Amino acid sequence: MLEFFFIATTLYVGPFWFAMLFSPKTDKTKKLLDKSYFFLGPILIWFVVMTIFPSNLADFSESFNSEEGFLLGLVGAMSSKAGITATWAHMVAGDIFATRWIWKKCLEHNINPIVRTLSIFFGVMLMPIGIVIYLISTFNKK
């Protein structure tokens, strides 16, 4: 079941990401990304995983009081299938949220299509790199 949630999280954001990549200026893409639907799927999956496996949420909250230190406590909380699935859903929600921001800003500032595509691609794949590519492109426009 957790494998299903893990894969569903990734597949959920795919259409939004592909729309930004391959049809960035169409009204259909703008309408699709106008609402909050683009990141609600992963957030809902996070809530479902945490509801089905509440011990992981307890493990996470206890990580703050770990005798071994916060990071090792956090490693313990995340070192389960449910912990990794919830973490993945959290990361994917953040990635698609940041990618939408990159996409909107690229259109607003009329960023070169190649740079825009690279920024959006990396926005989901390696979000910090996507943001850096976008930011560098805005410095070059000034």
DSSP, collapsed to helix, strand or coil, labels residue 109 as coil
Domain containing 132: what range?
2-141
Domain count along the chain: 1
Contacts of 125 (CB under 8 A, 6+ apart): none
Locate all alpha helices (DSSP H) within the chain, ordered by sequence.
2-22, 27-32, 37-52, 54-62, 70-78, 81-108, 113-125, 127-141
To the nearest whole number, what is the mean pLDDT of the chain? 89
Say what the pTM is.
Answer: 0.86
In this prediction, residue 37 carries a pLDDT of 82
Q: Which residue has the tokens 């956090």?
A: 74
| CA 135 to chain CA centroid, nearest Å | 18
Task: Tell me the one-letter amino acid at 47.
Answer: F
Instruction: Quote the longest CA-to-CA distance of the chain.
Output: 54
In this prediction, residue 44 carries a pLDDT of 95
Residues of the chain with pLDDT under 50: none
